[in-house]
Each structure stands twice: as structure tokens, then as C-alpha cells.
Chains A and B, each alone.
Chain A
Amino acid sequence: DGGITQSPKYLFRKEGQNVTLSCEQNLNHDAMYWYRQDPGQGLRLIYYSQIVNDFQKGDIAEGYSVSREKKESFPLTVTSAQKNPTAFYLCASSIIKGRSYEQYFGPGTRLTVT
């Protein structure tokens, strides 16, 4: 289960608070991704980053922000502007060149906002 880690596994926050989810990888992958997983909706792309100091919005970026200051790290901030933040969040990484484009997923963080 090594390679890409997320912390914490469970996170509880009060409505109106920003919260930052951690994602770290030691796979030397260039690309990193954040997905949100809700029952019956699969994995929806929030943000992705192909290279340090650069990132692009996915399909549901509103209310979220990211940074990519280091290759190994891609933290996600869920802001108070996100209307329905309670969900399971998955981080992933991949190489973007070569024979394999497999995305390696972290164990996920379950965020509950009340």
C-alpha cells in the first residue's frame, strides 16, 4: 500500500471552515489528481496537475483549491464555498509519458462537514 498516501483517513469539520487534505507520493510521478467519490456518481475530477507549479481545473473545481509546490505533494483545500463538501476524496498520481498511464490511488480521506 505504499507509494501514495493521504491523511487523515477521516476528517470532521464544522460548516464554514476551510480544511486541507494531504496527498503525498514517492513514486516520482509527474502528474497528480484529486477526485471526489459520491455514491452512484463514480469518480469526479476536481483538479489535476501535470507538473510542479501548474494545475488545471477538473469538472467540479468550484469551492476547492490546490497547490503544487513540490513534485511529491498535492494538497487539496475544501473551502467554505463548497456547498456540499461531505464526500470521500481520492488522490492519485501517474506518469504521463511512456508505456503505462496507470493512475495509482491513495487510500482516500472521508470528509464529514456538519
Chain B
Amino acid sequence: GENVEQHPSTLSVQEGDSAVIKCTYSDSASNYFPWYKQELGKRPQLIIDIRSNVGEKKDQRIAVTLNKTAKHFSLHITETQPEDSAVYFCAASTIFYNNNDMRFGAGTRLTVKP
């Protein structure tokens, strides 16, 4: 089955700096890679996702890159703000008809210092 590894486990940056979180996956059949943000005491929520037919996707200050050959993908947050502080999870899934068995990384606790 799929195995997703995520690094680093904790990350502390100064407000305004960039933050990068990296994930690797094991199953070459995986074709969908979402990122979830979980604020303290709240449920995880999707912030960005990418499919395997795309190498990069951007949404304002957040971007995700995917390297299918190397089987790794990364989340990039630019101009970080204190409200970006949260735990971020990457995930990988093989999406085809009638299947969506997503596996998550262990999470990265991001702290943005004002």
C-alpha cells in the first residue's frame, strides 16, 4: 500500500519568510496529492491539491510542486503570516472509479513568529 513520508515534523519561521514542507510517496499509481491545514482544536481542511498530470499549482501565497519521477511533492508558503501557524498534512491517493484510499503524512507543525 501507499506510504507517505513528510518532513520536517516541526518548522519555525519568521513572519514574512517562506516555508517549505516536503513529502515523498511510495506508490507510483498515486495520482492525487492534497494538502490539509489543521489549526489548533479544529478539523483538517483542504488548502490546495494537485493531480499527477500537473507539475505545479499556485493559489495566492500557496503553491504545490510535484515531481512524479522522484515521487515527491512540496508545499510552499510565501510571505508567511502568524495565521499560517498550524499543522499541515500532505496526502496521496489513487483516484479512479470507485476508489479513494487516501494516506496522510505524519504532519508538520508550522510556527510563524511575529
Contacts and interface: CB of A to CB of B under 8 A. Distances in A.
Contact of A43 (B32, B89, B97, B99): B89
Interface string A79-104: 00000000000100010110001110
Given A42-B106, A43-B89, A59-B1, A97 B97 contact: yes
Contact of B6 (A42, A103, A106): A42
A96 B9 contact: no
12 contacts: A41-B106, A42-B104, A45-B102, A48-B100, A50-B99, A59-B103, A90-B44, A96-B97, A96-B100, A97-B97, A101-B93, A107-B43
A51 B98 contact: yes
A101 B95 contact: yes
A56 B98 contact: no
A33 B45 CA distance: 15
A90 B98 CA distance: 22
B43 A90 contact: yes
Interface residues on B, range: 20 to 34
A43 B102 CA distance: 10
Contacts of B95: 96, 101
Interface string B74-109: 000000000000000101010101111111111100
A50 B98 contact: yes
A111 interface: no
A40 B106 contact: yes
Question: A40, A43, A51, A58 — which one has the most chain B CB atoms within 10 A of its CB?
Answer: A43
A56 B105 contact: no
Contacts of A31: 100
Contacts of B6: 42
A21 to B, nearest CB: 15
Given A43-B44, A48-B101, A90-B43, A101 B106 contact: no
A43 B100 contact: no
A97 B100 CA distance: 9
Contacts of B100: 31, 48, 50, 94, 96, 101
Given A43-B44, A45-B103, A56-B101, 4 more contacts: A33-B102, A44-B104, A48-B101, A102-B49
